[in-house]
Amino acid sequence: MWSIVLALGTLAAMTIGEKINPRLPWALAAVCVGTILCVSLSLASHGVQELGPVIVGWPTWRLRWFSMHEWSVIFTTALTLVIVIMSQTAATARTSADELGVADNLSRDFVGVGLANVAAGLAGAFPVDASPARTTVTRLAGGRTKLVGLVAAIGALIVSPFASIAHSIPLAALAGVLLFVAGRLIKIGQLRAIWFISRVEFLLAILTVLGVLILGVEIGLAMAVGLAILDQTWRSAHPQMIELGRQHGTTSWEIAGERGVDQVNRVLAVIFTADIYFANAGIFRRDLHLIMAKHPGTRHIVIDAAAIANIDYTGLAMLTQVVEDLTKDSVSVSIARASADVRGQLARSGEKSLSSIPIYDSVDDAVSAFPQ
């Protein structure tokens, strides 16, 4: 009961203090009051857990060569840390940048955190990342620049000789601070928006929350990353083949069936909405044949490659077979809006049927080049 009182008291102090003046150190004051109560009332004897001994000293050089068993432990532990650090850093950096209205370079952030962890490892310190808790408290207190971190580091050095008395800090008070921060990090409005936009993404978000709560941060975040990769793989493996038509009186080509969009006699223009690779090569071929079945009089096909950034070996092999089959049926093929990379892949494929395909800068140019 005392632990609950300390946690809720800290949470209440920070919540009320934020409304009074968020720049004042309410978290520090609440933790100090909790510590005084814990010591004066001997709450440790009533089941309140304390922080415990805090060792103060200069960094020591403790690097040595490890056995194979130790290396396996180090590798798995480091891999887990990488997942947690990158996930938390990315989430914290993006969220804070959005709330502050500033630009963020996540790659640069990763480099900074990586170098900081190299230094922490050599000094024997804990791994570091962009902490959601510290960042939120800093932002609520009005911190906006790197000077905050510098002042905090200097302050830590100044009070380090007195760190031994920190053993009496009740963990419940620190939990109250984290509850306050969690209330700012959990975006119910965003979850509601995700629900209306994508049921699949909402399910991934809920599974991530449950994974972190039930299985722990490491497994929960690893599961979230794995599910996100599977989701994107599924999406890229099930793209769409969209039929195009010319907007009446213009040279613009848009989705067929829309108002004012006309079909061109004996010409079929399509756009594939993803890269062509082993997972969706068969879908490309199947969907193209299905659309052609609707237009038996087609004598020329234009493939709009604006959404295709890469074609792997399987995709090139499939495309070769499709072009050769169409050629046997007296149906010619051209490509529009292909990137330099796609052009190079077609040229390097070694297949004459691909390297000889005419490529145009626009769909209308490709259609206009076909004799009507």
Contact 353, 327 (CB under 8 A): yes
pLDDT exceeds 80 at position 334: yes
pTM over 0.85: no
Paired sense of beta strands 241-247 and 253-255, if any: antiparallel
Query: Would you state the structure tokens that stand for residue 7, as one six-digit string?
Result: 């946690």
Paired sense of beta strands 267-272 and 300-304, if any: parallel
Nearest to 44, CA basis, from 164, 167, 165, 179: 167
pLDDT exceeds 90 at position 190: no
CA separation for the pair 86, 164 (Å, rounded): 32
Q: Concatenate the DSSP letters of all residues of 325-363 into one string.
A: HHHHTT-EEEEES--HHHHHHHHHT--HHHHTS-EESSH
Nearest to 129, CA basis, from 147, 110, 142: 110
pLDDT > 90 in the chain, percent: 45
Average pLDDT over residues 42-55: 87
Arithmetic mean of pLDDT over the chain = 88
Average pLDDT over residues 25-34: 90
The pLDDT score that the predictor gives to residue 367 is: 93
**pLDDT tens sequence across 230-269:** 888 888 888 999 999 999 889 999 999 888 898 889 999 9
The pLDDT score that the predictor gives to residue 81 is: 87
Cα dist from 321 to 12, 117, 240, 352, 369, whole Å = 69, 51, 20, 12, 23
**pLDDT tens sequence across 135-165:** 877 887 778 888 888 998 898 888 888 777 7
Query: Tokens 């580091």 belong to which residue?
Result: 153
CA separation for the pair 253, 15 (Å, rounded): 56
Cα dist from 339 to 236, 240, 307, 343, whole Å = 19, 19, 9, 6
Average pLDDT over residues 10-22: 90
Q: How confident is the model at residue 104 (pLDDT cuts 50, 70, 90)?
A: confident
The pLDDT score that the predictor gives to residue 372 is: 66
| Range of weakest confidence among 54-68, 186-200, 258-272, 294-308 | 54-68
